[in-house]
Structure 1
Amino acid sequence: MKKMSIVASICVLLVLGIVYWFQQKETAAAVSAQQGEEKKKQEMTLFVDDLLKESHFKGTVLLVKNRENYYEQAYGYANKEQKIKNSVEMAYPVASVQKSMTAILVEQLVSEGKISYKETLDKFYPDIDYADQITIRDLLNQSSGIDMDEIAPAKLLTSQREQLDFVLSEMTVTEDHSFLYTNANYTLLAGILSMVSGKSYEELFTQRIIQPLHLGETYFWDQLPEKETVPLSYVYDEAEEVDYVPFWDSFPDSKPLFSSLLGAGNLFMSASDLWRVQKAMKNGRLLTEDRYAEMTDIVTAGYSSGLWLSDGQKVVSGSLGGYTTMVYGEETNENLVILISNQQGILDTGSLAESIYEAMTH
């Protein structure tokens, strides 16, 4: 019996030893994998830093990898003269990126049965030429036949009614329903959203997007807090190799133009708030995957509801007065590059985003 007890004890010790060996091996493998991932991240961040500095990019970059905030950093000055640096908390004008959020509001009302993509414009704007031939979907997909130059009004437009009247007076309409990009389509959509909901566009946007997502760094052009620093817009003079050449003297000088872009491009956001909106398009916070699919069901010239779409990839972009914004990556939001700049630099923002995305995902 004693011999059997010794054998049993030896067996137990052997088993425990083998278990310990496997545990140590797994721990070592986990540590090695973690160290490998940290090394990759260090190499990635160095690559991004070098690329953006060499390109003379000023603004904020936010990288999403495996649906997580992977890297976030601000570069350069918001106000070079006053030595105020850009920060990740700053809200920049995101220009046409706002169109995708106007489209979200439309889809929400469609899903609630309050509006239809097939409804025609004559129900809302009967005096517009060919209104009975233009659908809500046409407005969303920039295939309405409507055209309007991006021009600043002679005076500040202080009410939604003034903003709509300005667009209605300046736009032209034809029967051609091929793709033609114009802000006017989305300003008209903003007006329709108000008619259907009984709320102003800004009220509806606040209640349905800003508040549910707790967006703390998102503002309309006319609701910026006094303490909020608006990054000035600059250009890089490549010939003279000089940064921070002013594009606009200051934000107040451009307010009339911002006031004319109802629903189409007068929103200020931080990169992190923009990331929250991207997630919410498909995770049920703003839209479900089915609702997103309905919103983007029809694509015209690669464009649908404020998004440029191709083979499961998306680009959400905006450019206004020296400011540029770019969201580049998968529609699933697995991996994204978000760039918001107040100085684009040598390379266009799309090329920068593509280079960073390729480095991050390969």
Structure 2
Amino acid sequence: MPRRLQRKRKKHRLTIRLSLLLIIILTLSGLYLEHARSQHIAAEKEKIAESSLPKTSADSTILQTIEPKNAVSASIEQALVARNFSGTVLVFRHGQIILNKAYGWKDQAKRIHNTIDTQYCIGSVQKGQTAYLIMQAVKSGKLSLDQKLSTFFPQVPNSKNISIKDMLNMSSGLRIDEKKISALNTTDSNEILAETLRQTTAAQNAGYSYQPVNYVLLAGILEKLYQTDYNSLFDKELKEPMKLNETSFYSETNKEQALSYSQGAAGPEYAPTTASSYADELGTGNVFMSARDLYTYFQALFNEDFLTNQERSELWQSYPGEKYASGIYNMTNSYHTRGVKARFESVVDFSKDGQSGIILLSNVWNQPKGYNDLASQLYKKVAAKS
């Protein structure tokens, strides 16, 4: 065979091989690009799905006990142990949880210890959650903060001059004899609200005065707006969207809820609290939460899917010369909230950006002032720059 023909055939075979190689490369490239595209779509779908959750809800670190990680958290634990603290503490700093630990007894008689899953009555911290539900009603166009109380309960004295924001800020002038409500000895929220409406009076001077009746009436307004009971609304609009799995209303059969004690000379002393006593706290203090859930809740308030910066600022804006607004004390460099109910105490201090703070939930009342001052001192350690 002539060499020229041989060279021609070799060149033809090489061309075929190169073409096949190019086809293979292109096929593999196409498969890779399709795989990458699929991965990107899946990642975007996951991102969208997670966008409705609190930013910390996927943080596995809060699912377990976290021992002191540094000198700050170690000193906090030392201070709590020195006070015979019983409850759960959760400390976060610069967006990282540095302590999440439980101490003492959930049920002393049965020798059951508190754990990080234990639920404690958060008392008046719940007022902030009622305020959050009010803001959700504002966002949906059902309500405005300058709307008057008379729109809903015209029988309340001076209601035509009292706004929703006045009530949120405890600057409405509304008053009530809470003993008359507790004397009802009922768990029926309709009875409690009806008697509250009968007993409410209004002071002439409407400056700040801490009066829980404001939040009982706000709970009543929410029930009117949504045509449902407060507890069901709480679960649907707050608990479920924020995925709070360790949050509940008082129930004597709920074993996740701690018992509460007074500190006696011989140690913690237990005395039962009636169901009606908790029911009296409609919208103001009958929710139980774990420290983990309370942390997740506050983090959600800094998530724009729940509250925008403007909405949160408006909700937590106190009146001139005052500090209280919507369950929160607006301090100079931090936020503070506290609840005391049936020997339970909850104290939360956190930074203006929500990135650093301390949560104390206790089921033993053992101080004349509880843990309020101590929590403030411990928060200063958390907030320190060094």
Q: Does 1:108 pair with 2:136?
A: yes
Match runs of 1:1-362 below 5 Å? 41-151=69-179, 153-221=182-250, 224=251, 226-237=253-264, 240=265, 242-246=266-270, 249-250=271-272, 253-299=273-319, 301-346=322-367, 348-362=370-384
1:27-49: CA deviation from partner (whole Å, max 9, x where unpaired): xxxxxxxxxxx998243343222
Shift of 1:73: 0.6
Report the AA paired with residue 263 of structure 1. G
Distance, in Å, in 1 between the alignment partners of 2:116 and 2:279 is 25
3-state SS, counterpart of residue 77 of structure 2: helix
Using the TM superposition, give the Cα deviation of residue 359 of structure 1 relative to its aligned residue in structure 2, in angstroms.
2.3
**Per-residue deviation, 1:217:** 0.7
What letter corresponds to residue 288 of structure 1 in structure 2? T
Q: Secondary structure in 2 aligned to 1:213?
A: coil
2: CA distance between counterparts of 1:321 and 1:113?
37
Give the number of the structure whose alpha-carbon radius of gyration is greater. Answer: 2
Q: Gapped runs of 5+ residues in structure 2?
A: 1-65
Gaps of 5+ in 1: 1-37
Change (3 A) 1:80 1:156: same
User: Runs of 4+ in structure 1 displaced over 4 angstroms?
Assistant: none
Please report the RMSD computed on the Cα atoms of aligned residues, expressed in angstroms: 2.1
How far apart, CA to CA, are the structure 2 residues paired with 1:94 and 1:345? 17
Mapped partners of 2:318, 2:72: distance in 1:
36
Shift of 1:206: 0.9
Task: Give aligned pairs, total.
Answer: 316
Which amino acid counterpart does residue 356 of structure 1 have in structure 2?
L
Could you state the TM-score of these two structures normalised by the residue count of structure 2?
0.77
Normalising by the residue count of structure 1, what TM-score does the alignment of the two structures yield?
Answer: 0.82
How many angstroms does 1:225 deviate by? 8.0
Aligned-partner SS, 2:267: strand
Is the CA contact (8 Å cut-off) linking 2:123 and 2:340 kept in structure 1? yes
Q: Distance in 2 between matches of 1:227 and 1:320?
A: 18
Q: 1:290 to 1:269 in 2, by over 3 A?
A: same
Q: Distance in 1 between matches of 2:182 and 2:372?
A: 30
- 2:68–2:77 contact (8 Å) kept in structure 1: no
Cα distance in 2 between the residues matched to 1:313 and 1:208: 27
Q: Is the 8 A contact 1:314 1:329 kept in 2?
A: yes
Structure 1 contact 324–342 (Cα < 8 Å) conserved: yes
